[in-house]
Structure 1
Amino acid sequence: MNGRSTVNRLLLGLCGVVLLGGGLLILTAGFDLYHRLRLSPPAGWPASTTHDVLLSNADRVRWSDQGWWWWPAVIAVLALAAILALTWLLAQLRHRPGAVHLGGTPPPESVELRGRALGDAVASEARALPDVEQADAHLAGRATGPQLHVALTLTDHGLPAPTLQALCRGPVAHARESTGLTRLPTHALLHVGRHKARRAE
């Protein structure tokens, strides 16, 4: 399980616990289970009988008297939560395949290669290219039609054109041959490292 899957599961689990707790709280009050089971709810429990509400008039007045900053602060928090939720949703739509079927369209007994492993292999080979200072690679798209994204940082004297040719003939070609894919569209992003200041004498 990668880090992204772990975060997704934790967030989904947390949302599920909050929604489940709120639903059970409302159902308990709606069916008057405390009275029927002869149980006493905890002190200060928001809803314990069918006539209780989650936010009483006294609570609304108390929160309304906090000052002019209270409602702008509430709106800002809710807007931030909505933006974070939308960002998380958009991040899920940028799907990265977890595995690549070796040999193209697989029969049931085919072998799968982890997408992260292929990206790491391409990045490791790309770092060994001349004039490459740093490299990173990952897969995007679907498992049946993956795309390779490579980001290279060149040295201060590196040239983009020769490096791009070496990338296509080396790591990208090796990745396509090792997976047996007929097509492996590749997007390359090249950065040039900062020039070091030199003292003139």
Structure 2
Amino acid sequence: MTPRTVLNRSLLALAGLVLLGGGLLILFAGLDIYRRHDLIPPVGWPLTTPHDVLLGAADRARWSSQGWWWWPAVIAALALVAVLALWWLLAQLRQRHPGALPVGGTPPQEGVELRDRALSDAIAAEGGALPGVEHAAVHITGRPAHPRTDITLALTPHSAPGAVLDTLCEGPLRTARRSTGFPNSPQMHTEVRLRVAHHKPHRAQ
């Protein structure tokens, strides 16, 4: 799993928890669950009954007295948050998978194509079997004519990263380029991340 994937999933999980918690608190107030089941609402939470509002008349008047700039600033901040969220969503959509890679160039020779999942599984299987590698994860993104290969290798504690990288380039990656018909093409961009696998301590008998 790449750092970008971890960050995206963490942000999604955090946003989901915030929205779920806020939605449940509003639902409890709307259904009057606090009073019906003698529950204690969170301290400082303004919505506890179906008749409560988030900002009362006194609160609105108090915030309005801050000056003419207050509500425009709030609206601008909310608009900025919405734009950033939309930008982040579009950035995720751009990380598309090619689906099928042309074999022998673009257009493919004699209509032969290779599924990106099959190629990534093959690279991961060969990469995971290399000496000094405990596990390999491969993801192929981008367009069919310009695929991008992201490889993450979990190395054993005593492996040599340089030797592993050389073996990867001369073995699985060269095989993948030859299989797609681009043995020396710069269009197949590849990024490799190396990390050391963590092992649990063993008890000595």
Whether TM exceeds 0.5 here: the answer is yes
Contact 2:103 2:109 in 1 (8 A): no
TM-aligned CA deviation for residue 194 of structure 1 = 2.9
Match in the other structure for 1:175: 176
SS in 2 for 1:105: coil
SS in 1 for 2:111: coil
CA distance in 2 between counterparts of 1:123 and 1:107 reads 24
Match in the other structure for 1:191: 195
Instruction: From the superposition, tell whether residues 157 and 107 of structure 1 become closer, same or farther in structure 2 (CA, over 3 Å).
Output: closer
CA distance in 2 between counterparts of 1:67 and 1:159 reads 68
Read off the aligned partner of 1:142 and give its amino acid letter: R
Match in the other structure for 1:65: 56
CA distance in 2 between counterparts of 1:172 and 1:107 reads 20
1:3-57 residue CA offsets vs partner (Å, 9 max, x unmatched): xxxxxxxxxxxxxxxxxxxxxxxxxxxxxxxxxxxxxxxxxxxxxxxxxxxxxxx
TM-aligned CA deviation for residue 186 of structure 1 = 1.9
Number of residue pairs the alignment of both structures matches: 140
Structure 1 unmatched runs, 5+ = 1-61
Read off the aligned partner of 1:177 and give its amino acid letter: R
Instruction: From the superposition, tell whether residues 68 and 154 of structure 1 become closer, same or farther in structure 2 (CA, over 3 Å).
Output: farther
Match in the other structure for 1:164: 165
Aligned positions of 1:9-88 closer than 5 A = 64-65=55-56, 68=59, 83-88=84-89
CA distance in 2 between counterparts of 1:153 and 1:112 reads 30
Q: Does 1:94 align with 2:64?
A: no
CA distance in 1 between counterparts of 2:59 and 2:117 reads 51
CA distance in 2 between counterparts of 1:181 and 1:66 reads 69
Q: Which has the higher Rg, Structure 1 or Structure 2?
A: 1
Contact 2:102 2:108 in 1 (8 A): no
Q: Identity of paired residues, percent?
A: 41
CA distance in 2 between counterparts of 1:147 and 1:90 reads 16
Match in the other structure for 1:150: 151
TM-aligned CA deviation for residue 198 of structure 1 = 6.8
Instruction: From the superposition, tell whether residues 107 and 124 of structure 1 become closer, same or farther in structure 2 (CA, over 3 Å).
Output: closer
